[in-house]
Amino acid sequence: MRYFLILLLALISPPLWAADLRVIDGDTLVLNGTTFRINGIDAPESGQKCTTERGKRWPCGEAATSTLVALTNNATVSCEKLAVDPYNRIVARCFADGKDVAQVMVAKGMAWAFLKFSDEYEADQDNAKIAKLGIWRGPAQPPWEFRAKRWNVAAQVAPKGCPIKGNITANGHIYHTPWSPWYKRTRINTAKGERWFCDEAEAIKAGWRAPRR
């Protein structure tokens, strides 16, 4: 009986060596507690929509996140540190079962090659454009332009021009940028200890985290 219980626990419990992996969005993941920003790409933000050739809007941000989830799910994932960004995230080259995650995301049309910083995936992007995959199905606003527009609009009405919302929930202290899909419906109650932040680095330093999928 004792042997049976041990065997049963082994079957229903995850192995101790299993990686703790969470996907934040199409170009950011958390592996064993460390946040990695995938190098060389910029994926649509979670709340961002793109347009097909016929003008139909579709949730390309959600699609990019789902693509990264599918790519890393049940895979052996590893990340090689390249640098640290201003938000204290490690910029890294990440692999899923040996596949370069950034290259796959660009090749599937689920991320832009971030040519401002690297031309490594430019050829993959050109091929995705020709095939009209993902974001290349029709007109799409690059995520850096999407973020800038949302930021400028939110900053005009936010206290002291600091538009990031620091929300406290049962899941912890979570900050929402103006491009977060939950931003508009998040209300800040400073009496509860909630607050506004001027940038993500400030929010992270204060102990808030980005929302998870």
Q: What domains can be seen in the chain, in order of their start residue?
A: 17-137 (2.40.50.90), 144-205 (no CATH)
Tally helices (H) and strands (E) across the chain.
Answer: 6, 13
In the block, tokens 């899941």 appear at 171
Structure tokens at 145: 């332009």
- DSSP structure class, residue 192: G
* Cα–Cα distance list, 52 to 45, 104, 132, 133, 149 (Å): 17, 21, 10, 10, 21
C-beta neighbour count of 190 within 10 angstroms: 10
Q: Which of 58, 37, 41, 36 is nearest to 49 (CA)?
A: 58
- Indicate whether this model's pTM tops 0.75: yes
pLDDT tens over the chain, length 213 residues:
443 333 333 334 343 334 699 999 999 999 998 999 999 999 999 889 999 988 899 999 999 999 999 999 999 999 999 999 877 789 999 999 999 999 999 999 999 999 988 899 999 999 999 999 999 999 999 999 999 999 999 999 999 999 999 999 998 999 999 988 889 999 999 999 999 999 988 998 899 988 876
Question: CA-to-CA distance for 103 and 21, rounded, in angstroms?
Answer: 20
For Cα atoms 76, 92, 65, give the angle at the middle one, nearest 5 degrees.
Answer: 65
